[in-house]
Amino acid sequence: MKNQALWVGAILVLALDRATKYWVMQTLPQGATVPLWPGVFHLTHVTNTGAAFSLLAGTGSTLLSWVSVVVSLGILGYGWLGPVLPAWERWGYGLILGGAMGNGLDRVLRGEVIDFLDLRLIQFPIFNGADIAINLGVACLLWANLRARQSSQA
């Protein structure tokens, strides 16, 4: 199968995202917080109708649902029909795909995204595993681009 790490990464991220969000919904009432490291890191069940860092909150989850669908379909098509990708790109696109699908499913099924990772030490917005995967995926793509530029200059 072409670009296998892309598919494996996406499936792992999506499964982990769905499992952790299900656990949070079953365990913590909305708004509840559990300090794992008081003042530093808590689990806090909140919902977000916006994008990352609550950007575009209240503008309607429909637009963001469509963005998730378009991004997911674009990566699916590129992974399936495009070239065999270098390893860092495969993992990067897989992480982004899994994260986009995880948050996209929340938006389509619930109209909002479940967030619960609360890093209080630096007053960071509450986030979830899909958000982490998307950011790691972008970092992988940036790393792949940097490596490609370095090798083309050598």
Instruction: Specify the 3-state DSSP secondary structure of 113.
Output: strand
What pTM did the predictor assign?
0.91
Average pLDDT over residues 71-95: 96
DSSP character at residue 29: -
Q: What per-residue confidence (pLDDT) applies to 99?
A: 96
Whether the Cβ atoms of residue 93 and residue 7 lie closer than 8 Å to each other: no
Q: What per-residue confidence (pLDDT) applies to 68?
A: 87
The 10s digit of each residue's pLDDT in 86-128 is 999 999 999 999 999 999 999 989 989 999 999 999 989 999 9
The 10s digit of each residue's pLDDT in 13-55 is 999 999 999 999 999 999 999 999 999 999 999 998 876 655 6
Res 153 pLDDT > 90: no
Range in 41-45, 77-81, 110-114, 149-153 the model is least confident about? 149-153
User: So which residues are the catalytic ones?
Assistant: 115, 131
Res 59 pLDDT > 90: no
Considering only residues 7 and 48, tell me which one the structure prediction assigns the higher pLDDT.
7
| 151 — pLDDT class (breaks 50, 70, 90) | confident
- Domain parsing of the chain, residue ranges: 4-50+57-148
Measure the CA–CA gap between 74 and 63, rounded to whole angstroms: 16
Q: Computed from CA positions of residues 61, 103, 32, 132, in that sequence, does the dihedral angle turn out positive or negative? A: negative
Instruction: Specify the 3-state DSSP secondary structure of 2.
Output: coil
Whether the Cβ atoms of residue 113 and residue 128 lie closer than 8 Å to each other: yes
Q: What per-residue confidence (pLDDT) applies to 58?
A: 62
Whether the Cβ atoms of residue 95 and residue 13 lie closer than 8 Å to each other: yes
Considering only residues 68 and 74, tell me which one the structure prediction assigns the higher pLDDT.
74
